[in-house]
Amino acid sequence: AGIVELPCELRRFLEKMRPSYTAGAGSASWLLQAWQQTDQKSEFEGVQRIVQGFAEIYEAIERYWTEKLGSAAVKMELAQEKMEQALEAAEMRVATIPASSARSELRRILEVVDAESFVLREDLRVGEVEAPMPAGLELVRRGQLFEMFDDSVSNAEVHARLKEFVPDDGSDLRLLFGGENYHNAQARCFEAIKEL
């Protein structure tokens, strides 16, 4: 069950009314005390019923929102834990390619990356990475690569145009490579957010 949006009339009621456990002006106990001190004792019983009804409504609303907020906080913590676990499990490597060698490095990458799946068919030492990128990792379309080629562009077209992917400002090129668990981790993150 989702959280019900608070109608403006109810919000005004909550702003004006105070629960019986408080003693300030506008509280249920304050109203009853004021009526007790008047000469209209015969009407006090009716006022008492009305004020008691309002106090019960107020307390029920307060319980509802306290419960919903508490539940949302727990869900948020669980979602954050799931996302952290997913990110820890994701195998990600970043290849930083100096602008001066970007064209030649991209040509080498194109030779070993599958045009449809973007998966490395063989190990690849790229950029300033000490260890080679192992075969089976996928060139992930995130970061700078996503900025140039969004999801509307097919992998095959990105593969054909990848040589264009040299930053004009002379900055280094950063490519992300991830294993199969990257997509699993991404799906788990989306699931955690959806549950929240």
**Cα R_g (the chain), whole angstroms:** 31
Say what the alpha-carbon torsion angle 46, 13, 57, 29 is, to the nearest 10 degrees.
-50
Mind giving me the DSSP string for 62-115? Answer: HHHHHHHHHHHHHHHHHHHHHHHHHHHH--EEEEEE-GGGHHHHHHHHHHHB-T
pLDDT digits (tens, 9 = 90+) for 124-174: 887 666 778 888 888 888 878 778 788 888 888 888 887 777 777 778 888
The per-residue pLDDT for 196 is: 57
- C-beta separation of 192 from 79 below 8 A: yes
Taken as a whole, the chain contains a residue count of 196
Enumerate residues 6+ apart whose C-beta is below 8 A from 183.
Answer: none
Question: Which has the higher per-residue pLDDT, 74 or 27?
Answer: 74
Please state, in angstroms and as integers, the Cα–Cα distance from residue 185 to each residue in 21, 24, 192, 193, following that order. Answer: 48, 52, 10, 12
Model confidence, pTM: 0.49
The per-residue pLDDT for 178 is: 80
pLDDT digits (tens, 9 = 90+) for 50-101: 878 877 888 888 888 888 888 878 888 877 777 677 666 667 778 888 888 8
The owner of tokens 């009314």 is 17
Q: Strands of 138-140's sheet, edge to edge?
A: 92-97, 173-178, 138-140
* Mean of pLDDT over the chain: 77
| Phi, psi at 107, each rounded to 5° | -65, -45
- C-beta separation of 6 from 22 below 8 A: no
| Phi, psi at 125, each rounded to 5° | -95, 120
d(CA 70, CA 77): 11
d(CA 47, CA 144): 68
